[in-house]
Chains A and B, each alone.
Chain A
Amino acid sequence: MQRVTTDALPTPPLSGPSRGVAKRTVAGSPAEPAPTAELAPSTGSAGPATTSTGSTIPAASTGSTGSAGPAGPATSTGSTRPTGPDPTMSVLPVAIPQPADVPRDDPRRSDVDEWGRSEHLRSIVRSVYDPVYRHWFRVEWEGLEKIPTDGGALLIANHAGAVPSDAPAIMHGIERELGRPVYGMADYFFRTIPVVGTLWSRAGGVPADPENAYRLLHDQRQLALVFPEGTKGPSKSYTDRYRLRRFGRGGFVEIAMRSGVPVIPIAVVGAEESMPILFRLPSVAKVLGVPYFPVTANALLFGPLLGSVAYFPVKMKMRVLDPVTFDVEPGLDRYSKSRVMDESERIRATLQDTLHDMLRERRSVWRG
Chain B
Amino acid sequence: MAQALEADPTVEMILGMGTNEPRVPLERTEFVRADQTYSILNRIVRATQVDTIVHTFLVTNSVQVSGRNLHETNVIGTLNLLAAASAGGSSVRQVVVKSSTHIYGASEKDPAWFRETTPRNAPVRTRLERSLLEVESMVQDFKEDNPQVVVSVLRFANVLGSDIVTPISTNLRRRVLPCLLGFDPLVQFVEEDDVVRSLEHVTRHRIPGVFNVAGDGKLPWSEVAAIGGAHLLPLSPVSTGLFAAPLVRLGLIQFPPELEPILRYGRGVDSTPIKETDFVFRYTSAGAVDSFAHANNLRRSMGTVKDGYRYEQDVEQFFRHSPAVVRGIDG
A interface residues (Cβ-Cβ under 8 A, vs B): 1-15, 17, 22-40, 42, 45-51, 53-54, 57, 60-61, 64-67, 73, 77, 80-83, 86, 88, 106-110, 112, 114-116, 188-189, 191-198, 206-207, 209-212, 215
Contact = CB atoms under 8 A, between A and B. Distances in A.
Contacts of A65: 291, 294-295, 298
Contacts of A206: 112
A39 B299 contact: yes
B220 A80 contact: no
B23 A34 contact: yes
Contacts of B105: none
Given A10-B22, A26-B56, A54 B308 contact: yes
Contacts of B165: 27, 29, 32, 35
Interface string B1-42: 111110100111111111110111110010100101010010
Contact of B1 (A6, A40, A107, A192): A6
14 contacts: A2-B51, A5-B48, A8-B1, A8-B18, A22-B196, A29-B61, A39-B304, A45-B25, A61-B295, A66-B291, A67-B291, A107-B287, A110-B226, A112-B186
Contacts of A15: 7
Given A8-B56, A30-B69, A195-B182, 13 more contacts: A3-B12, A5-B52, A6-B1, A25-B164, A27-B164, A29-B165, A40-B298, A42-B308, A47-B24, A73-B294, A107-B287, A110-B219, A114-B217
A211 B286 CA distance: 24
Q: How big is chain B's contact interface, by range?
A: 35 or more
Which of B109, B182, B307 has its CB near the most chain A CB atoms (within 10 A)?
A: B307
A49 B16 contact: no
| Chain A interface main SS type | loop
Given A22-B197, A30-B69, A38-B162, A9 B16 contact: yes
B111 A9 contact: no
A33 B307 CA distance: 12
B45 interface: yes
Contacts of B167: none
B297 A7 contact: no
B163 A194 contact: no
B175 to A, nearest CB: 9
Nearest to B301: A80
Interface of B: 1-5, 7, 10-20, 22-26, 29, 31, 34, 36, 38, 41, 44-45, 48-61, 64-65, 69, 73, 81, 98, 108-113, 115, 118, 159, 161-165, 180-184, 186, 191-193, 195-197, 199-200, 203, 217-220, 222-223, 226-227, 229, 237, 265, 268, 282, 284, 286-287, 289-291, 294-295, 297-302, 304-310, 330-331
Contacts of A196: 182
Contacts of B164: 25-28
A202 to B, nearest CB: 8
Given A2-B12, A115-B112, A194 B181 contact: yes
A295 B248 CA distance: 42
Contacts of A106: 286
Nearest to B265: A191
B18 A14 contact: no
B17 to A, nearest CB: 4
Given A3-B13, A207-B112, A45 B298 contact: no
B50 A29 contact: no
A23 B162 CA distance: 8
A270 to B, nearest CB: 31
A45 B308 CA distance: 12
B2 A10 contact: yes
A32 to B, nearest CB: 6
Contacts of B98: 26, 28
B306 A36 contact: yes
B161 A23 contact: yes
Contacts of A47: 24-25, 308-309
B86 to A, nearest CB: 15
Contacts of A66: 291, 294
A14 B13 CA distance: 18
A14 B7 contact: yes
Nearest to A55: B308
Instruction: Name which of B7, B193, B199 has the most chain A CB atoms within 10 A of its CB.
Output: B193
A51 B308 contact: yes
Given A191-B108, A211-B112, A14 B196 contact: yes
Contact of B295 (A39, A83, A109, A192): A39
Nearest to B13: A3
A22 B159 CA distance: 15
A133 to B, nearest CB: 26
Nearest to A54: B308
Given A54-B308, A112-B220, A25 B192 contact: yes
